Amino acid sequence: MKPLNRRRFIETAAGAAVMTSQAIGPWIRAQDKPGKQYRTALIGSGWWGMNILRVAIEDGSVDVVALVDVDADELEVSADEVESITGKMPAMYRDYREMLEKEKIEIAIISTPDHWHALQGIACIKAGAHVFVEKPTGHTIQESRAMVKAAREHERVVQVGMHRRIGPHHVSGMKFLKEGGAGEIGMIRAFAHSGGGPEAPTPNSPVPPNLDWDLYCGPAPLRPFNKRIHPGGFRNYLDFANGILGDWGVHWLDQILWWSDEKHPRKISSMGGRPIKGPVVLNEKEQTSDSPDHQVVTYEFEKFTAVWEHRRFAGNEAEKSKVGCYFYGTKGTFHMGWRDGWTFYPAEGGEIIHEDPKFDDEKDGHNVPPLWRDFIECIEQKRLPVADVEIGHLATNMSLLGMISQKLGRGVEWNGETETFPGDEEANKLLRRDYRAPWEYPV
Ligand SMILES: NC(=O)c1ccc[n+]([C@@H]2O[C@H](COP(=O)([O-])OP(=O)(O)OC[C@H]3O[C@@H](n4cnc5c(N)ncnc54)[C@H](O)[C@@H]3O)[C@@H](O)[C@H]2O)c1
């Protein structure tokens, strides 16, 4: 199949979006910026993928040669936007394998649902591309490890989208903690709370004509299409992601690894469920999501204990901060937040210390621009990036270990060196999953 140019795309995708007539320019043309412009493709041109791509274009380091998405409408709208910013229409593809064959890209940005990250990441690395991949680095631990291995074998730079490793208030907060500002820390509580409530099943619907649902599901089971899943909703379906723990959890559990320089916990125990959202439903007529509506995970490290908490109900201001991490130390409590920056509350009274956040992207409140710059500089200087794939893998493991304990309904012991659960075959089986044919689990 040929790459889809705009006209061909509209011819082939029944019901595709009508072409938009956007105002063109002023263009950010790659050739007007100093430095090399890398042949770049975005795989997964939804909300977050386009956020990253806009940053990359603004940075001046990319020549956007292709967009890939299984949703023809997303693809069309995104390609139009790229053209309106750069003056150049990228080629459009549904299937990343075909894109990799045709385009000889130097950089891939991967922002698909989580169950694709490792598989697509590895394919891009093997095709010779440096990769900016979204977190988590895998849907299961062994595929994530396989991506680390591929990155090292092929000597490619792989940056994981963990911008909380480079955001200014995170960097200054970590300096404060590592210099002993909060004293000796014995416990950390990371959390993400949001609103919500009971969930009634939503009727399944025919697959929209613009969507290749089979290729969306890919290695995951081919479940009936439901509008709650796409776009964005896949996070709450365990076939495609790992709920809030696999989403927000990666960012905040990573702060614990960053602060402690630890690589992995020794024991993990999760409790939680769906008392508020209600039972999981999945049949030919209707379905619900299936991730826990709340979860409490304890992680035992050698010198401290960490706790993860999330809740998808009772979202309110009662606890002030909805996402973040509390570090409890002998000198006081340190709160690492998001839009609320960081704050230190001394144990013996005294002055509260606070630092506001600084975002390069005020609207979304993130720091993708410095993360992208670091990625490019690492390609040029042949060094490891600030959110290197190994760092992303270890943070992803924190989330996935919690999910394994949750699925087993009991605690587990983890050997982080061998990445196995010693003598626990039931748990070891959950380090990977069976892929739907013809997809093959990466090793
Ligand atoms: N780092 C961060 O702060 C941050 C913030 C938001 C999202 N994310 C991550 O970004 C990823 C995407 O999230 P989103 O909210 O943009 O979701 P989304 O649903 O808006 O976008 C995902 C896109 O991927 C497409 N897709 C699905 N299967 C595909 C395939 N096989 N090939 C190509 N395209 C495919 C979908 O059609 C969709 O357009 C997630 O992994 C999420 O965790 C990270």
Per-residue pLDDT band for 321 (boundaries 50, 70, 90) equals: confident
Q: Is 265 in the pocket of ligand 1 (CB under 6 A)?
A: no
Give the three-state DSSP class for 336. strand
Considering only CA atoms, which residue is closest to atom 32 of ligand 1?
A: 69
Residue 439 covered by a domain: no
Q: Is 71 in the pocket of ligand 1 (CB under 6 A)?
A: yes
Q: Give, in degrees to the nearest 5, the angle at Cα 253 between 247 and 256.
A: 165
Residue 33 is predicted with a pLDDT of 67
Residue 379 covered by a domain: no
Q: Are residues 178 and 325 in the same domain?
A: yes
Residue 315 is predicted with a pLDDT of 86
Residue 319 is predicted with a pLDDT of 85
Residue 29 is predicted with a pLDDT of 55
Of 121, 145, 164, at which residue does a domain stop? 164
Helix (H), strand (E) at residue 342? strand 342-346
Non-local (6+) Cβ contacts of 153 within 8 A are: none
Q: Are residues 84 and 66 in the same domain?
A: yes
Minimal CA–CA distance to 189: which of 274, 255, 284, 237?
255
Considering only CA atoms, which residue is closest to atom 27 of ligand 1?
A: 216
- Please answer whether residues 386 and 166 qualify as being in contact, where contact means their C-beta atoms are separated by less than 8 angstroms: yes
* 163-177: pLDDT as tens digits: 999 999 999 999 999
Region 294-303 average pLDDT: 98
Q: Are residues 197 and 78 in the same domain?
A: no
Average pLDDT for the chain = 93
Tokens of 292: 């826990």
Distance CA 374, CA 143 (A): 25
Considering only CA atoms, which residue is closest to atom 7 of ligand 1?
A: 48
In testing the pocket of ligand 1, which one of 42, 50, 69 has its CB within 8 Å of the most ligand atoms?
Answer: 69
Considering only CA atoms, which residue is closest to atom 4 of ligand 1?
A: 48
59, 80, 83, 274 from 27: Cα distances, Å:
13, 13, 9, 49
Region 39-55 average pLDDT: 98
Per-residue pLDDT band for 7 (boundaries 50, 70, 90) equals: very low
Q: Are residues 394 and 286 in the same domain?
A: yes
Distance CA 431, CA 400 (A): 9
**Is 1 a residue whose pLDDT tops 50?**
no
Considering only CA atoms, which residue is closest to atom 11 of ligand 1?
A: 111
Q: Is 203 in the pocket of ligand 1 (CB under 6 A)?
A: no
Of 111, 138, 164, at which residue does a domain stop? 164
How far, in Å, is the centroid of ligand 1 from the Cα of 149? Answer: 23
**Is 193 a residue whose pLDDT tops 70?**
yes
Region 246-269 average pLDDT: 98
Q: Which domain holds residue 309?
A: 168-361+389-431
* 324-378: pLDDT as tens digits: 999 999 999 999 999 999 999 999 889 999 999 988 877 778 899 999 999 999 9
Give the three-state DSSP class for 388. strand
Q: Are residues 227 and 98 in the same domain?
A: no
Residue 148 covered by a domain: yes
Considering only CA atoms, which residue is closest to atom 5 of ligand 1?
A: 48
Pairing relation of β-strands 267-273 and 107-110? unpaired
Task: Count how many Cα atoms sit within 13 Å of the Cα of residue 2 in the half-sphere of its side chain.
Answer: 8
**Is 18 a residue whose pLDDT tops 70?**
no
Residue 437 covered by a domain: no
Distance CA 92, CA 148 (A): 28
CATH number for 31: 3.40.50.720
Distance CA 341, CA 347 (A): 20
Of 110, 130, 164, at which residue does a domain stop? 164
Minimal CA–CA distance to 257: which of 412, 399, 416, 391?
391
* 76-115: pLDDT as tens digits: 999 999 999 999 999 999 999 999 999 999 999 999 999 9
Q: Is 61 in the pocket of ligand 1 (CB under 6 A)?
A: no
Q: Are residues 188 and 115 in the same domain?
A: no
Q: Is 216 in the pocket of ligand 1 (CB under 6 A)?
A: yes
pTM of the predicted structure, to 2 decimals: 0.94
Per-residue pLDDT band for 379 (boundaries 50, 70, 90) equals: very high
In testing the pocket of ligand 1, which one of 43, 48, 133 has its CB within 8 Å of the most ligand atoms?
Answer: 48
CA dihedral 160, 161, 165, 168 (to 10 degrees): 150
Residue 317 is predicted with a pLDDT of 82
**Is 13 a residue whose pLDDT tops 60?**
no
Region 144-169 average pLDDT: 98
Distance CA 391, CA 307 (A): 20
**Is 73 a residue whose pLDDT tops 80?**
yes
Q: Is 49 in the pocket of ligand 1 (CB under 6 A)?
A: yes
How far, in Å, is the centroid of ligand 1 from the Cα of 229? Answer: 11
**Is 30 a residue whose pLDDT tops 70?**
no
Total domains present in the chain:
2
Minimal CA–CA distance to 165: which of 387, 439, 7?
387
How far, in Å, is the centroid of ligand 1 from the Cα of 364? Answer: 15
CATH number for 246: 3.30.360.10
